[in-house]
Every structure is written in structure tokens, then in C-alpha cells.
Amino acid sequence: MSAKKAAIIGGGVIGGGWAARFLLNGWDVSVFDPDPEAERKIAEVLANARASLPALSDVPMPAEGRLRFAGTLTEAVEGAAYIQESVSERLDLKHRVFAQIQQASHGIPVGSSTSGFKPSELQQGAADPSVIFVAHPFNPVYLLPLAEVVPSAKSDPKVIENAKEILREIGMFPLHVRKEIDAHIADRFLEAVWREALWLVKDGIATTEEIDEAIRMGFGLRWGQMGLFETYRIAGGEAGMKHFLEQFGPCLTWPWTKLMDVPEFNDELVELIAGQSDAQSGAHSIRELERIRDSNLIGFLRALKDRNWGAGRVLLDHDKRRREGAAAAAADPGGMPLKMAEMQVLPGWIDYNGHMTESRYLFAASETSDAFLRLIGADIDYVAGGHSYYTAETHVMHLGEARLGDRLTGTLQVLAADEKRLHVFIRIVRGDETVASLEQMLLHVDMKAGRTCPAAAGVLSRLLPIAAAHAALPRPEAAGRHVGLRSKA
């Protein structure tokens, strides 16, 4: 079945992020942007996304979609199942873009990345206002899941629900904003913080770096996993939110902030803030800062995922959706080893020679086999029910050297399987090169009884068709090898 197509109109930072998010989740993407630098800019965003988004997934990423740059807007939207507009924040420009879109597209959801305009403003003069709505993301779009979905009274509820499901399909969290309002929800909040920060700099109270330290060393860490109200609920102690409000509510009448007053935005203020920002971060290029940001976000999001909390829940749900899709396809797995894990060699994975340590090859194999077990239904819930596959034997062959930063793929071929045994061959691949192979024998175990037993029918119904399909594959030359010395005559 051919991939669905998304049309991205506007290929800047946000449009490029949308393109990467759709592409890496298996959608074909057509981009229209008259900027002659659009292809280069999107290629750079896509490179960052390829290096980061797979690190959030515990399920193999789908085959990447095809990226095309359309010569016209009409060509871009033709055949699209979803359209995302990300042009400059000029209402007249957006109106012209929507008019051109709707000359070539009918009934297809058209989301706008606008951070400020209301959907009713976007819909003015549109041929079909019912399909136009706000889908406001956050940078980097390929990592951060939030998309504020804002309809108006003229929006078609079915179109909105369809759009929300598409966003979930590509791993995003569609926050349905119940009433349209300027700047939606998140940016209104950010604007308040930004305005106060400008005053702190202008009045000489803090530098840009000191303000950033106050956020990232303190409340920013709390906000990232509990938000505002849940954080303050805890601050109220055992009495909770009511006590917090009673204790700190009177502060709202104190002149702590200047939220109703805006500093004069003149050249002097611009030079002051730009100069401090250059001193703070000028040692890094923007692309370097993006990669640093992405690496930090991956660590933070993975921690939340491990705890099934906050944005981590969205990542787990996205894994579950793709795992279920992979399980449905397992009955017809085709004639190739399964790509089960995507990994990157991290600083803690290497030894004093700069090579990946032996223990990490075992870890990579474990990630690969664990992903396969989840695919066939032997997941954490299955283990909680008292059954699991135990690794009885592993043979490792080191065929190459993986180094810091290398992107690795774990593939798995089923050599044999029956009710109690699972014999697999795992390759750890960098590009076209196999850097290690691992042969494993796993036994299905009744954990309470402490002995082998037949796997559940549901697991076997997924496993055995894969084993049958893989029986037609060439047997790896290394399969069955062992370490030993020829005896002397």
C-alpha cells in the first residue's frame, strides 16, 4: 500500500520540522516554498531529525517517506491527505495561500502553524472555511509532541477529529483548544514570561544568561514534567492546591511583575539583549545549538518515557500504535530480516580506544530481541502475567568497530521457532556494514514454576508466520559457529 501524502506549504524552520515529522513516520511529503534555499534548509533540519527522533522510539521506525519539492502550490497539494501551512505571519499572505490551496484541494484538512491568528481570521474569504484550522506546533516539531488544535464555529468537527488522529499517527499530542483566542494557550503564557524577562534585562537586574539559568536550573525542570498547576499543588504541601492558593494568593496584589506594562522596544534594547545573547551562546553555531538542544531533549523525554509521565506518555502511545501496526503486518513479514531497533553510540558506550564496548553489543542485541518480543506480544504485560522468554545462549562475532556517534540498526532473522524455543540471528548494522552478529537461543518459561512451557496462543500466532516466512531466507554463514581450537594430531 502506498504511503499517505502530506503537503507542507512553507519550508522554514517550522515547515521543515513538519516535513521531517511526517517523513520519518512513513508519510510521503511534498514541499512548496519559492525560497531558492528551501531545499538546503530542509535538508539540514531533516539531518538533525534523522539523528534524534529514532532515539525516542522503542519500535522500529517505518520506512522513510519520499520527499519532493513541488514547483507550484497546486502540484504540492495534489493527492495530499493532510496540508500544513507554515508561511510568514502575515494574514493577507495566508489568505492568498488558502485560496490557492482550495482551488486544487477539496475537503482535505488544512492546518496552520500560526502562533497568533485565530482560525476565524484565517477562514475569512475562504471557499471552504470548514476545513481550515490552527495546528500550532513547537520547535523542534520533529521532537516536541504538542500541537495546539484550534477550530472555530465554522470548522467541521469531523475534519478536526480526522486531523487530530493524523497528528497522533505521527506521534504528536493534539491539544484541542475549546475557544479560539489570540496566541492560543502556550504562547500567551510564554509572552507573559518573555515580557517580564525583557524588563529584567532592561532594568539591569539580570542578564540573558542569568535568566536562562534561573529557568533551566530551577522551575523549568519542574514545568517540563509537571506543568504549572500540578507543580503548585505540591507546593501547597499535604493540604494541596487550596492551601497554596490561600498562602500565595495575596501575592497577586503585590507589584512583583510588570505584565501589564511593555518596555519600549527600541534599538537600545535590541542591542543590549543581542549583545548579551552573543556573549552567552555565540561560541556555538545555530546548527550546533540545535544538536545540543535535541540531545538534551532526547535524554529528558526518554526519562519521562521510562516513567510513563508527561510527554513520555505520548511517546509510549506512539510506540504502541506502531507496534500494533507491525503486529498486524507480521502475518506477511516478507522475505527480509526485520529491522527492530535504531540506536546511536553514546559517550558511555565506548572504551579507552574510542570503540563500542563488548557489553554494549550485548545491549544492542537485547534491544533488538526485546523489540521483537514486544512485536509478537511477549511484552511487559505478558511478563506481568508470569511468562517470559529467557535467553539461554548467545554467541557474538565482532566483525567491525562501532565508534562514538555511529547510527546502528538491529535486525533479526528467525532461524527456528516452536512452542517453547526461539532461535534467532541478530545483526548490528552500520549503513551497509555488519559490525557484529549475535546468535541467540531463547526458551519460553513459566516464571512461577521455573521451567519451560508452551507460549500463549496469541504469541505463537504472531511468531510462527514470521518463522515460516524467514525459513525461505538464506541461512547466515555464521549461524551455528562456535569458538574452539583444532586439536593437535
Which tens digits make up the pLDDT trace of 33-42?
Answer: 999 999 999 9
Give the three cell numbers for residue 138.
Answer: 513547537
| pLDDT, average across residues 471-487 | 80
Number of domains in the chain: 3
**What letter does residue 396 receive in the DSSP assignment?**
E
Q: Is 309 inside any structural domain?
A: no
What secondary structure does DSSP assign to 37-75, as a single string?
Answer: THHHHHHHHHHHHHHHGGGG-SSPPPPP--EEE-SSHHH
Cα–Cα distance for residue pair 341/397, rounded to 1 Å:
19
Cis peptide before 476 (omega within 30 of 0): no
Same domain, 26 and 160: yes
Query: Looking at residue 107, which CATH number applies to its domain?
Result: 3.40.50.720
- Residue 171's nearest CA partner among 54, 90, 77, 8 is 54
Q: Over the range 48-69, which residues count as b (16 or more CB within 10 Å of their CB) and which as e?
A: bbbbbbbbbbbbbbbebbebee
Say whether pLDDT at 332 is over 70: no
pLDDT > 90 fraction of the chain, expressed in percent and rounded: 64
- Is the residue at 432 inside a domain? yes
pLDDT band at 246 (very low <50, low <70, confident <90, very high): confident
* Residues 419 and 443 placed together within one structural domain of the fold: yes
- Write out the residue range of the structural domain in which residue 110 sits: 5-176
Q: What is the pLDDT of residue 489?
A: 45
Task: Please check whether residue 317 lies inside any domain of the structure.
Answer: no
- Whether 346 and 213 map to the same domain: the answer is no
Tell me, what amino acid is at 207?
T
pLDDT in tens, 83-113: 999 999 999 999 999 999 999 999 999 999 9
Query: φ, ψ for residue 172 (rounded to 5)?
Result: -100, 165
Same domain, 231 and 92: no
On whether both 20 and 154 belong to a single domain, the answer is yes
Each residue's pLDDT tens digit, 370-382: 989 988 999 889 9
- The predicted pLDDT at position 404 comes to 86
> Does residue 396 form part of some domain?
yes
Instruction: Note whether 194 and 166 are same-domain residues.
Output: no
Question: Do both 33 and 89 map to the same domain?
Answer: yes
Confidence of residue 241 (pLDDT cuts 50, 70, 90): confident
Tens of pLDDT, residues 353-399: 889 999 999 999 999 999 899 889 998 899 999 999 999 999 999 99
- Backbone phi, psi, residue 342, to 5°: -120, 130
pLDDT over 60 (residue 486): no
Banded pLDDT at 326 (limits 50, 70, 90): low
Q: What's the CATH code of the domain at 196? A: 1.10.1040.10
**Are 354 and 260 found together in one domain?**
no
pLDDT score, position 142: 96
**Whether residue 114 is found in the same domain as residue 62:** yes
Domain membership flag for residue 302: no
Beta strands 110-112 and 82-85 are parallel
Average pLDDT estimate for 61-87? 95
Helices 311-329 & 157-169, crossing angle to 10 degrees? 80
The reply to whether 171 and 193 lie within a common domain is: no
Cα separation of 280 and 273, whole Å? 10
pLDDT of 25 above 80: yes
For 254-261, what is the mean pLDDT?
Answer: 75
With contact defined as beta carbons under 8 Å apart, do 406 and 413 qualify?
A: no
> Is 389 in the same domain as 346?
yes
For residue 43, pLDDT beyond 90: yes
Instruction: State whether the Cα torsion 340-341-342-344 is positive or negative.
Output: negative
Q: 404 with 345: CB under 8 angstroms? A: yes
**Whether the predicted pLDDT of 259 surpasses 80:** no
The answer to whether residue 9 scores a pLDDT higher than 90 is yes
Q: pLDDT digits over 127-148, tens only?
A: 999 999 999 999 999 999 999 9
Does 240 score more than 60 pLDDT? yes
Residues 129 and 211 in one domain: no
Q: Which residue has the higher pLDDT, 424 or 266?
A: 424
Q: pLDDT tens, 190-208?
A: 999 999 999 999 999 999 9
